[in-house]
Structure 1
Amino acid sequence: MKGVWGRILKVDLSQGTCTAETLPDKVYEYFLGGAGLAAYYMWKECPAGTTAFNPANRITFAGGPMTGLKQSGAAKWSAGAISPSINLNADTAATASFGIEMKETGYDAIVVHGRAAKPVYLVLDDGKAKIKDAKKFWGKDAYVTEDGIKEAEGADFEVVTIGQAGERLVRYANIQTRKKSFLGRSGLGAVMGSKLLKGIAVRGTQTCGLHDPKEADRLNKEINKRLAELDALKPEWLQIKRVGTAMATELFAPQGNLPIKNYQLADFPSGVKNFHASNYAKELNAKPWPCKYCVIQCHNLCEVKGGPYAYRGKGPEYESFAMVGFNTMVDDIKAVAYACELANLYSLDTISLGVVIAWAMECYEKGVITQKDAYGLDLKWGNAEAVVELTKKIGERAEGLGYLLGEGCKIASEVLGKGSETWAVQMKGQEIAAHNWRAQYISALNYCTGVASGPNHERGNSQHIWVGHIRLPEWGIGEVENEERWSWDKAADRNAKFHDYCNIINSACHCKFHEFRGYTLTDMVKTINAATGWNWNIEDLRKCGERITTLQKILNIRYGWKTEHDFQYPKRFMEPVDSGPAAGKIPVGLDDAIRDYYRVREWDEKGKPTKKLIQRLGMEEYVE
């Protein structure tokens, strides 16, 4: 088989061993790689009863058949494990060059289990693996650790690391690479921390053969040219290459798709102005910071040259400045960018961070948290200094409120009580992201039914039918009317297709942002065929997505998911706003839409895969 190696590096930190394992072709044909491969190893090696911080938990770092192609977006790679935030299987994805370099070592994935006796990091150098002492890096931030590992091993290594939040088991700790790309959601940084694994360094020189290299090269050139041209045709402040995801403010505000004051308000004029892409570029001196082979170049390198928020580094993505800015009502873009960069250093997911700080601010406003509880900070809405300082307390897991907020707002609200569960905008233990369910009801349905990583906008993305204007015509999702965003008609079918679509992307390993510039399912299936020689059609691609989704659902059930969990959505879902584009809109009928989704997915009334579905997908061996 071409396009993948069929080899996996298995690392046992308890025993201090590294061994190679061969995978049969059928695993790739069923689950591709990336997120699908992470789910496969959880199914294979993490039985019921395995928990996030159990040494038996497997954390998988995996590429796919597209990883390393000279096609824009093919720097993507995925990781997966049992999550400490949702206590279910979860996957997340990043870019930069780690996935490409990992594939060049001669392995498709690294699967880590066990717990080291002392802090360690893993080195994989052109196929040879060694576990090394990380004592001198323990307690350091993620960036300092990356620099230290590169100094020790070589500047040409690609490295992933965690900061103090990962070491101290913040339940939404992330993993970073190249100081700009993050395995953001679901707390996989804390899984690394629980294993005393501070980082992984990879370097390789090996080239994975392709089935049809000439066709792959032709596709790469044609697709790269088309994507770059389409982006250049956009107005300046809607060009991804110019401002990355900061373009979203202009798109989302008119739809009512912003998270404002812990999702209580419809508008925040000063925030909309200050977080507009034009001001973002001006105040943060934003410049493109591309991943390898990428023509879209969505990452930004930013610099604030003076004042209390001076820094040079990663520019915040929309999700980051929306949750840390709009959601807390801090309208100072420099302060928000600085807080987000602090979060990156500590390895804190900025989405969950923004939600837990907003939850704390609402607690403060309602008298549930006092200024004394908050280390003397005035947690009033819009207080930039308080957001920055509270980020530090959470990252350090300071005694008291900082430690509690590191548990996420589900556990924090259960501990604190006093009605605070009412304004904890989370589901299944994971905080809700910066897409407002009032602006498109399908967002609520996605949050309730996602199986890849719990309630996760990036593992569904069906909201972008309206806010990002993404279409999947090959799967029957064409043009829509704007008013359809408040209808349940076809919502279940569209949601299911977007779940499968996201699983395909995160398993083949391609960057989803390219779909904003016209990358199609046809482009993807042609590229997969050129790499592997499978000769798939569009229906084969969908069936693969269905298999990955189904395996993830099987894992959900194994690790404790119950039907009622899908219906335990935040109370704020049913609280309307009284102004703005989505005034008065709440997703009434959501419960019925969830049941309709079960039907569309060929699940039974309890949300479990039916025998008919399992047989159609040829997955009998995976059923428990």
Structure 2
Amino acid sequence: MAPGGFFGRALLVDVGGREATGTPFELTERVLRSYLGGVGLGTWLLHRLAPPGVDPLAPAAPLAFVFSSLVGTPLTTSAKFAVVAKSPLTGLLTDALASSQFAISGKLTGHDALVIRGRADELSVLLIDGDGVRLEPAPDLAGLAAGEAETAAKSRFGRNWRTAAIGAAGERGVRYATISHDGRHAGRGGLGAVLGAKNIKAVLVRAATKVSVADQAGVLAAARDLRKRSFGPATAKYRELGTLANLLAFNAVSTLPTRNFTAATFEGAPRLAAEELHELRGVARNSCASCSIGCEHIYSRKGGGSQRMEYENVFALGPLCGVSDPDDVFAASARCDELGIDTISAGGTIAWAMECVERGLIDEPWLRFGDGKAVLRALDAIGTRSPGLGELLAQGSRRAAEAVGHGSIDFAPQVKGMELPGYEPRSLQSMALGLAVNARGADHNRSGAYEADLSGELDRFDGGAAHVAAAVGTEDRAAVMDSMILCKFLRGVFDDPFTEWARLLGLVTGWPLDADELRGAARRIVRAKRAFNVREGATAADDTLPARMLETPLELGSGRSAVLDADRLRSMIAGYYAARGLDEEGRVAAADLEDLLLDA
């Protein structure tokens, strides 16, 4: 019998040919307890089911939708799922989280994970419910935006199906294409391209069963308490202004990446700030499924309509490209949603191309910093993979730089192939380490070490041992939250996180968990990610930052500068390896491999 909150099985779906088949795959209690669900369980599944060295876009490459024990409970923000695969952008493990009713319905098909392999003969939709799996041809959905495909699927199959779909970019293999559902996105690493390579336009799930918890009364009481705390000061910023509130704050402390990381303050920031837009454009506030925070802020668009805006898409399509006109940034964000591409990778790749144009390395004179219309034109080229520039930029900044050459890799804003988020590493040196060593590549959600940099408790311009401890700590906390799964915006409401998370999981599963066991699970998940990447060819040389960050001081004004040289970063990385129990090459020690249960 499975523990509370789990079914004890995954469903392996083969979509090869014209018909789909589904095969149950047992998930033992030992594996579930060791990896918790979500990203942790997805990492274990990739170890077991992805052939070593497989091309991420090959039929044999698995794509896993993974749930957790908390999905379907009344715990706020728990209606989330993870999508895990080998990334076509990085060639390494990637995972992305999303919130929607798809999570609940997907789990209530009676599975803790849905793993898709193979390639359909024609563009199709995949349906999964209590009656099994089936493919339905869907050539009429070709080229549609994910939202349009979702609407069409509901019309065709009924409103009780929940849909995750790709846009045109996923169909065309853009290496940072997204998977979307209910207007939200599993965004980073090109998961939409992986689904598109399987000739699947959408996955539809329908609830067919229920799942029990170990202590129903205890879960209800915990849910009431967590909901109450979610309205407190720890989440006030997200409720009042959303993540876009970070823009002016980061600009003030010289950590807002601008014009492809050549500066960290942007003169046009006030025009894009949440405070300004809230007064002039704010029209609504919304919440994800089963969420009491309500961080989503909706703004009116010029000419009609509205757009959800967050810090990362505004940073990437605004300051990073030198664009200050909010209408242009809104339009670019909407275009990314329509095409189904990650805003961070899109903005980073376009910003790199703009600098290449300045340097005479790319002959597209219209693609200039500060030109919002040029950003839109570039996005259209990427989404259609038009010959020349579109095909080049659809590969992401690392592959594009390798093609262009002339040292352009030195200023490509990426780690391991994934474009940098909106944090300047030279002025946030805990974050610099977190970005360099993270398994997913340049990432702020799996390593939120910027929290320590901005806490005022350490010198953010002088990385050292304290910064290593901060990076390890935030990575561990993220590993548990991403596997439970709970929203990161709740992290501030827990006074004693591991102890409180152990209690929540214990109420659901019935396991007698404690904080030490969860800390062990966090370390296991982080090590398992690294072990997968090493298996796929990653080395210590991949744990680094772009040469620009390590060779060019960041000017702060008044004669001041921020410096992060290669020696300092290497010293912090060595400290990180030691703290993680890795060898000098960043590999998991042989004595620790058994703990990963890779043969279980």
Alignment of structure 1 residues 158-173 onto 2, 5 Å: 158-173=162-177
Give, in whole Å, the separation in 1 of the partners of 2:86 and 2:490. 28
Q: Aligned match of 2:452 in 448, 462, 465?
A: 465
Give, in whole Å, the separation in 1 of the partners of 2:597 and 2:503. 29
Asked whether the 8 Å contact 1:247–1:276 carries over to 2, the reply is yes
Give the corresponding residue for 1:185.
Answer: 188
Deviations 1:549-584 (A, max 9, x none): 111111111111122222464433432222259941
Give the corresponding residue for 2:207.
Answer: 204
Deviation, 1:90, is: 1.1
Cα 1:583/1:156, change in 2 over 3 Å: farther
Give the corresponding residue for 1:591.
Answer: 570
Give the corresponding residue for 1:434.
Answer: 422
Asked whether the 8 Å contact 2:527–2:588 carries over to 1, the reply is yes
Q: How many pairs does the alignment contain?
A: 593
Alignment pair present for 1:490 and 2:466 = yes
Amino acid of the structure 1 residue aligned with 2:451:
H
Amino acid of the structure 2 residue aligned with 1:592:
S
Give, in whole Å, the separation in 2 of the partners of 1:536 and 1:76. 22
Alignment of structure 1 residues 540-555 onto 2, 5 Å: 540-555=517-532
Alignment of structure 1 residues 311-390 onto 2, 5 Å: 311-313=305-307, 315-371=308-364, 378-390=366-378
Deviation, 1:540, is: 0.7
Deviations 1:6-58 (A, max 9, x none): 12221101152123333211110111111112111211111222120111111
Deviations 1:353-386 (A, max 9, x none): 11111111111112222236xxxxx222111111
The percentage of aligned residue pairs carrying the same residue is 28
Q: Aligned match of 1:292 in 284, 289, 292?
A: 289
Cα 1:115/1:205, change in 2 over 3 Å: closer
Deviation, 1:262, is: 0.6
Deviation, 1:89, is: 1.3
Give ranges in structure 1 of 5+ residues lacking alignment.
373-377, 470-479
Q: Aligned match of 1:229 in 206, 221, 232?
A: 232
Deviation, 1:544, is: 0.6
Give the corresponding residue for 2:502.
Answer: 525
Give the corresponding residue for 2:411.
Answer: 423
Give, in whole Å, the separation in 2 of the partners of 1:193 and 1:28. 29
Give, in whole Å, the separation in 2 of the partners of 1:621 and 1:361. 44
Give, in whole Å, the separation in 2 of the partners of 1:177 and 1:444. 32
Cα 1:570/1:425, change in 2 over 3 Å: farther
The TM-score with structure 1 as length reference comes to: 0.91
Give the corresponding residue for 1:600.
Answer: 579
Deviation, 1:432, is: 1.1
Deviation, 1:210, is: 0.4
Alignment pair present for 1:609 and 2:588 = yes
Give, in whole Å, the separation in 1 of the partners of 2:547 and 2:66. 33
Amino acid of the structure 2 residue aligned with 1:316:
M
Give ranges in structure 2 of 5+ residues lacking alignment.
none
CA RMSD of aligned residues (A): 2.0
Q: Aligned match of 2:535 in 539, 553, 558?
A: 558
Amino acid of the structure 1 residue aligned with 2:444:
H
Q: Aligned match of 1:2 in 1, 4, 8?
A: 4
Amino acid of the structure 2 residue aligned with 1:429:
G
SS in 1 for 2:561: coil
Deviations 1:187-220 (A, max 9, x none): 1111011111111111215321001111111111
The TM-score with structure 2 as length reference comes to: 0.95
Alignment of structure 1 residues 447-458 onto 2, 5 Å: 447-451=435-439, 453-458=440-445
SS in 2 for 1:65: coil
Give, in whole Å, the separation in 1 of the partners of 2:574 and 2:131. 48
Deviation, 1:241, is: 1.6
SS in 1 for 2:459: helix
Give, in whole Å, the separation in 2 of the partners of 1:109 and 1:486. 43
Give the corresponding residue for 1:119.
Answer: 123
Give, in whole Å, the separation in 2 of the partners of 1:52 and 1:582. 47
Asked whether the 8 Å contact 1:437–1:586 carries over to 2, the reply is no
Give, in whole Å, the separation in 1 of the partners of 2:147 and 2:489. 25
Give, in whole Å, the separation in 2 of the partners of 1:565 and 1:292. 37
Asked whether the 8 Å contact 1:224–1:295 carries over to 2, the reply is yes
SS in 2 for 1:459: coil
Alignment of structure 1 residues 99-118 onto 2, 5 Å: 99-118=103-122
Amino acid of the structure 1 residue aligned with 2:577:
Y
Asked whether the 8 Å contact 1:231–1:517 carries over to 2, the reply is yes
Asked whether the 8 Å contact 2:437–2:544 carries over to 1, the reply is no
Deviations 1:58-108 (A, max 9, x none): 100011111222122112210100100110111111112211221222222
Give, in whole Å, the separation in 2 of the partners of 1:317 and 1:581. 31
Give, in whole Å, the separation in 2 of the partners of 1:127 and 1:526. 35
Give, in whole Å, the separation in 1 of the partners of 2:167 and 2:245. 29
Deviation, 1:267, is: 1.8
Give, in whole Å, the separation in 1 of the partners of 2:115 and 2:428. 38
Cα 1:417/1:611, change in 2 over 3 Å: closer
Cα 1:511/1:530, change in 2 over 3 Å: same
Give, in whole Å, the separation in 2 of the partners of 1:171 and 1:192. 11
Alignment pair present for 1:406 and 2:394 = yes
Give the corresponding residue for 1:145.
Answer: 149
Asked whether the 8 Å contact 1:243–1:286 carries over to 2, the reply is no
Deviations 1:394-435 (A, max 9, x none): 111111101100001111111112332222111221111111
Cα 1:619/1:369, change in 2 over 3 Å: closer
